[in-house]
Amino acid sequence: MEEEDEVQIEERIKESGYKGSFPQTEEEANAVDDLLANELAELSLLEQDKATFDLHGISTEIEETEELIESSLKEMEKEIHNIKKKPAFEKAVKLNPNYVNSRQFRIRFLRCEFFKCKNAAKRLVFHFEKKEVLFGDGEVLGRDVHLSDLSSPQDIEHVKSGGIQVLPTRDIAGRSVLLWMPGNFKGKKYILKSTQRLFYYVVDSASREEETQKKGFVTVFWNIGPRGMPPTIALFKNLHAIRLAMPHRMCGLHFCFDYKALRPMVSGMRYFMDKHARKRFRVHYGDEQKVAFQLQTYGIPFDDGSPMKVINGQFNLTWHQNWLQLRQAQEGGSTDQKQRITIPHRFDVLFGRGNNAREHTGNLRATHLVNMHQKNYDEANRFAKTSISEKLVGIIKESGGKFLKWEDSGWVEVEDDIARDKVSHWFRLNRQKGNQKEASVETQKQKRPFNQTLESSS
């Protein structure tokens, strides 16, 4: 595991000369930046390329085979057995062995550690240690944490604030984007334990999705717009420890800010991070438009529905409220049998008329497929047209995509015949636009002066 453990971090902090606090002045920030610049310069080209590839989402994924998974699970079990002290893990096993020993649960830790079994075993045992500290040793230790477990007044306030949430769309590489928004904590205190519990819950919920397990997370610290309280060194250290305990592969961190007073804190964050995270940390300074463009160069979406958008002096909480409703429905054992998807995958096709649907990667890809087959569709008879539409639906589904519509705070997969009708509608719309374009060109020709028409035809 590339990350340092807590002991190593504490030792480095003691040696730092900052006595456990962030840099306070420009001079101290400059000193830290110089130190880190020298560290980055000493990296090998291979290490630099790996960090750059992670940031831009072009890392190579491990090809998972049934043989790899089975052999890794067996090896991981041996490594867990070799860990002598694991009281929280053992309590969890007694409470619910089916949960702790489940294949699905353990694969999350293997994927996080690129199937390095010893590292995965250490992370899993540490996971239950941190979980016990945050949520106690009751029955919650042997199951997934639910929203209802964040029940104190401080917990509820933090949950509703949207200070920690996930973006409604993935980045261009299909990774979940974890969003830290201090502006949503405005007027609220960082209650240390409540903030840690919220962080644990949001990361744990998002990492239950297979695509996120395979591709990892990108984190955005958004300090642009309404002012909020920057995290303290104590909170930052505790959240880092939780990150090391979660099946959470961090691929990139982006700190965005628009007021210079935060610069010493940014330098401090980089300094106290482990080496793995520091190599993947990027700083973006400027107004919303400038920073949004910089994030988009890394494949991170920013559109009108983004939670980072300010509406009437406040950040947009519409998506976060929908996400909370979906989580409550799923955890409350809703009788609705339709499986709802929280964050669409990159090849999914979204129904809807807004920019979010039109600009989604899966919709753009589907539109390209329609354009490629438009001529064949126009020349085909009725039955052949249906066959072409079915073919395109098949191509999209074979690549892992689904056709989704928004329903009751979540995305729901539609039936194949509805998906086929959607594709056929796109073909007809494309043809209609083509006819309108041809008609417009012909109209313009007719409006030209007589002598200009002769010149263009000669």
pLDDT tens digits along 165-188: 999 888 888 889 999 988 888 656
Confidence check: pLDDT of 75 > 50: yes
pLDDT tens digits along 142-156: 999 999 999 999 899
Domain ranges of the chain: 6-52+145-331, 344-447
* pLDDT recorded at residue 2: 47
* pLDDT recorded at residue 186: 63
Region for residue 139 given its phi and psi (left: phi exceeds 0; alpha: psi -120 to 50; beta: otherwise): alpha
Mean pLDDT, rounded, for 417-445 = 76
Cross-strand partners of 350? 404
pLDDT tens digits along 96-117: 999 999 999 999 999 999 999 9
381 pLDDT tier (thresholds 50, 70, 90): very high
Whole-structure pTM value: 0.80
131 pLDDT tier (thresholds 50, 70, 90): very high
If you average pLDDT over every residue of the chain, what do you get? 83
- DSSP collapsed to 3 states, the chain: CCCCCHHHHHHHHHHCCCCCCCCCCHHHHHHHHHHHHHHHHCCCHHHHHHHHHHHHCCCCCCCCCHHHHHHHHHHHHHHHHHCCCCHHHHHHHHHCHHHHCCHHHHHHHHHHCCCCHHHHHHHHHHHHHHHHHHHCCCHHHHCCCCHHHCCCHHHHHHHHHCCEEECCCCCCCCCEEEEECHHHHCCCCCCHHHHHHHHHHHHHHHCCCHHHHHHCEEEEEEECCCCCCCCCHHHHHHHHHHHHHCCCCEEEEEEEECCHHHHHHHHHHHHHCCHHHHCCEEEEECCHHHHHHHHHCCCCCCCCCCCCCEECCEECCHHHHHHHHHHHHHHCCCCCCCCEECCCCCCCEECCCCHHHHCCHHHHHHHHHHHHHHHHHHHCCHHHHHHHHHHHHHHHHHCCCCEEEECCCCEEECCHHHHHHHHHHHHHHHHHHHHHHHHHHHHHHHHCCHHHHHHHHC
Confidence check: pLDDT of 74 > 90: yes
Confidence check: pLDDT of 429 > 60: yes
pLDDT tens digits along 116-129: 999 999 999 999 99
* pLDDT recorded at residue 108: 96
pLDDT tens digits along 204-263: 999 998 889 999 999 999 999 887 766 777 787 788 889 889 998 888 999 999 888 888
pLDDT tens digits along 35-62: 777 777 777 777 777 777 787 877 667 8
- Please state, in angstroms and rounded to a whole number, the distance separating the CA atoms of residues 442 and 213: 54
* pLDDT recorded at residue 13: 40
4 pLDDT tier (thresholds 50, 70, 90): very low
**Choices 3.40.50.2000, 3.40.525.10, 3.60.20.10, 3.20.20.80: CATH for 6-52+145-331:** 3.40.525.10
444 pLDDT tier (thresholds 50, 70, 90): low
Mean pLDDT, rounded, for 353-382 = 85
Q: Which residue has the higher pLDDT, 100 or 437?
A: 100
Mean pLDDT, rounded, for 274-300 = 88
pLDDT tens digits along 15-24: 433 344 567 7
* pLDDT recorded at residue 334: 57
pLDDT tens digits along 58-71: 766 788 999 999 99
